[in-house]
Amino acid sequence: MDEVVRFENVGLRYGLGPEVLQDVTFSLTPGSFHFLMGASGAGKSSLMKLMYLALRPTRGIVSLFGREVAMVPRDGLPALRRQIGVVFQEFRLLTHQTAFDNVALPLRIAGRRESEVRKHVEELLAWVGLQDHMEAKPETLSGGQQQRVAIARAVITRPKLLLADEPTGNVDDRIAARLLHLFEELNKLGTTIVIATHSKVLAGETGHPILRLEDGHLEVVEQDAVLTRGVPRGTSQGASIAPPLSPGVEE
């Protein structure tokens, strides 16, 4: 099977500045789960942007789902992007729309029927604990609530690849554990996941391998899952709260 993400000698610089990323080479197999770690300013967000096609590399090759991105014509990009769910570091919610409409957006863009949209969005919002805030505008929500809206929007289409940039930065530990559980459930359903974080705690709990960024270079660090002090999966949360995710969008 094709690798979901493949970087070959990728370099990135902003304008005439120094190279933020240098000779980055790695690949993600389908169904893998990685944490992307590095100090603030190490280039985590930049690497994520390359993966969700908000940036093009200044050198090297980026491939997604077996296709070299530089070779994909402009009108082929939406199809690629619809297979990727993104939780932006700054959320980037549509501020004039309700939580419901924000989460519904990817389904509507993909042309789903409104009845289907309503059902899935309501279920998912309830699952992330926002059933009482469906009609709320983002500005009336707390940072943590906005983040959950952003996460719900990223996963509503059950993307093949989920990229989350510091998704638990604004929430307390209990919510963080719950969100992590959501990502685990998605992962079990086959979604490839990359979570950027600078929290060692979050990464350490699960035993997933780590993509470590330092001085513009990337190295993959395998964690020994047995040694991690993780939240026992499935026991504290219970099987009944599996996230209600709509079937993936086929292009």
Ligand X SMILES: Nc1ncnc2c1ncn2[C@@H]1O[C@H](COP(=O)(O)OP(=O)(O)O)[C@@H](O)[C@H]1O
Sheet holding 67-68, edge to edge: 19-28, 5-13, 59-64, 67-68
33: left (phi over 0), alpha (psi -120 to 50) or beta: beta
Using CB under 6 A, which of 44, 120, 160, 208 touches ligand X? 44
Which residue lies nearer to ligand X by CB, 38 or 106? 38
Applying CB under 6 A, which part among 43-51, 154-162, 167-175, 228-236 lies near ligand X? 43-51
Please report whether residue 45 would count as binding ligand X according to CB under 6 A: yes
Applying CB under 8 A, which part among 7-15, 50-58, 175-183, 229-237 lies near another protein? 50-58
Please report whether residue 243 would count as binding ligand X according to CB under 6 A: no
| Alpha carbon distance 183, 147 (integer Å) | 14
Which residue lies nearer to another protein by CB, 55 or 242? 55
Which residue lies nearer to ligand X by CB, 2 or 90? 90
Please report whether residue 181 would count as binding ligand X according to CB under 6 A: no
Which residue lies nearer to ligand X by CB, 34 or 44? 44
| Alpha carbon distance 147, 88 (integer Å) | 9
For the chain, the 3-state helix, strand and coil shares in percent, each to the nearest 5, are: 35, 25, 40
DSSP states along 120-175: HHHHHHHHTT-GGGTT--GGGS-HHHHHHHHHHHHHTT--SEEEEESTTTTS-HHH
Residue with tokens 């959950």: 148
Smallest gap from residue 31 Cβ to Mg ion (A): 25
Please report whether residue 53 would count as binding another protein according to CB under 8 A: yes
Sheet holding 217-221, edge to edge: 84-87, 161-165, 192-197, 33-37, 210-214, 217-221
Q: Are 207 and 224 in contact (CB under 8 A)?
A: yes
Using CB under 8 A, which of 39, 70, 79, 126 touches another protein? 79
Which residue lies nearer to another protein by CB, 52 or 208? 52
158 binds, among Mg ion, ligand X, another protein, none (CB under 5 to 8 A by kind): none
Please report whether residue 41 would count as binding ligand X according to CB under 6 A: yes
Hey, which residues between 152 and 171 contact another protein (CB under 8 A)?
A: 153
CB atoms within 10 A of CB 59: 14
Give me the half-sphere count of Cα atoms (radius 13 Å) on the Cβ side of residue 188.
11
Applying CB under 8 A, which part among 73-81, 178-186, 222-230, 237-245 lies near another protein? 73-81
Q: Are 159 and 85 in contact (CB under 8 A)?
A: yes
Using CB under 8 A, which of 43, 57, 60, 106 touches another protein? 106
Residues that bind ligand X (CB under 6 A): 14, 17, 20, 38, 40-46
Residues that bind another protein (CB under 8 A): 52-54, 56, 74-75, 77-79, 81-82, 86, 88, 92, 94-97, 101, 105-106, 109-110, 153
